[in-house]
Amino acid sequence: MGSVSLKIGDGTARFKRASWCSSSLNLLMLFSVITTNLFAWYAFTYAPKNQILHHQMPRNLSLISEHVSLILKEIDSSQKKLAQMENELLEYESIDLSKPNIVNELKMFLQHHVLPLGKDSRTGITEMVASVGHSCEKSMDLLSQYMNYKVNGQCPNDWSLGQRLILGGCEPLPRRRCFAKAINKFGLQPFPVSLWENVSEKIYSWSGLGCKNLACLNSKKLNRDCAGCFDIVKGYETQKYVKPRGKNDFLINDVLAMGNGGIRIGFDIGGGSGTFAARMAEKNVTVVTATLNVDAPFNEFIAARGLLPLYLSLDHRFPFYDNVFDLVHASNGLDGSVRPEKLEFLMFDIDRILRAGGLFWLDNFYCSNDDRKAMLTRLIERFGYKKLQWVVGDKINGSGKLEVYLSAVLQKPVRV
Ligand X SMILES: *[C@@H]1O[C@H](CO)[C@@H](O)[C@H](O)[C@H]1NC(C)=O
Nearer Cβ to ligand X, position 148 or 397? Answer: 397
Report, in Å, the least distance between residue 400 CB and ligand X. Answer: 8
Strand partners of residue 251:
none
Which residue number has the CB closest to ligand X?
Answer: 398
Q: What are the helix (H) ranges across 116-204?
A: 140-147, 159-167
Distinct helix (H) and strand (E) counts, the chain: 11, 13
Q: If binding is defined by CB under 6 A, does position 401 make contact with ligand X?
A: yes
Report, in Å, the least distance between residue 68 CB and ligand X. Answer: 13
Query: Regarding beta strands 308-310 and 325-330, do their DSSP bridges make them parallel or antiparallel, or are they unpaired?
Result: unpaired
Please tell me the distance from the alpha carbon of residue 65 to that of residue 292, in angstroms, as a whole number.
Answer: 59
Q: Rule CB under 6 A: which of 305-364 touch ligand X?
A: none
Of 33-41, 98-106, 227-235, 387-395, the window that binds ligand X (rule: CB under 6 A) is 227-235
Report, in Å, the least distance between residue 368 CB and ligand X. Answer: 6
Query: How big is the site for ligand X, counted in residues (CB under 6 A)?
Result: 18
Please tell me the distance from the alpha carbon of residue 86 to that of residue 8, in angstroms, as a whole number.
Answer: 12
Other Cβ atoms closer than 10 A to 269: 24
- Distances in whole angstroms, Cα of residue 297 to Cα of each of 199, 253, 369: 13, 29, 31
Please tell me the distance from the alpha carbon of residue 317 to that of residue 322, in angstroms, as a whole number.
Answer: 11
Nearer Cβ to ligand X, position 57 or 129? Answer: 57
Report, in Å, the least distance between residue 228 CB and ligand X. Answer: 8
Render the burial of 278-317: b for 16+ CB within 10 Å, e for the rest: bbbbeeebebbbbbbbeebbbbbbbbbbbbbbbebbbbee
Q: If binding is defined by CB under 6 A, does position 100 make contact with ligand X?
A: no
Cβ(186)–Cβ(200) below 8 Å: yes
Report, in Å, the least distance between residue 12 CB and ligand X. Answer: 41
Nearer Cβ to ligand X, position 140 or 227? Answer: 227
Nearer Cβ to ligand X, position 86 or 197? Answer: 197
Report, in Å, the least distance between residue 177 CB and ligand X. Answer: 36
| Cis bond upstream, residue 116 (ω within 30) | no
Q: If binding is defined by CB under 6 A, does position 218 make contact with ligand X?
A: yes
Q: If binding is defined by CB under 6 A, does position 261 make contact with ligand X?
A: no
Report, in Å, the least distance between residue 401 CB and ligand X. Answer: 4
What is the DSSP secondary-structure string of 230-270?
Answer: T--SSSGGGTTTTS-SSTT---HHHHHHHTTT---EEEEES
Among 255, 246, 260, 300, smallest CA distance to 276 is for 255
Q: If binding is defined by CB under 6 A, does position 5 make contact with ligand X?
A: no
Q: If binding is defined by CB under 6 A, does position 231 make contact with ligand X?
A: yes
| Cis bond upstream, residue 190 (ω within 30) | no
Report, in Å, the least distance between residue 15 CB and ligand X. Answer: 32
Count of residues in the chain: 416
Nearer Cβ to ligand X, position 240 or 412? Answer: 240
Nearer Cβ to ligand X, position 175 or 372? Answer: 372
Report, in Å, the least distance between residue 40 CB and ligand X. Answer: 22
Q: Binding string to ligand X for residues 26 to 65, with x set by CB under 6 A, is what?
A: -------------------------------x--x-xx--
Q: Binding string to ligand X for residues 360 to 399, with x set by CB under 6 A, is what?
A: --------x----------------------------xxx
Q: Rule CB under 6 A: which of 268-287 touch ligand X?
A: 283-284
Query: Regarding beta strands 265-269 and 325-330, do their DSSP bridges make them parallel or antiparallel, or are they unpaired?
Result: parallel
Positions in the binding site for ligand X (CB under 6 A)? 57, 60, 62-63, 198, 214-215, 218, 230-231, 233, 283-284, 368, 397-399, 401
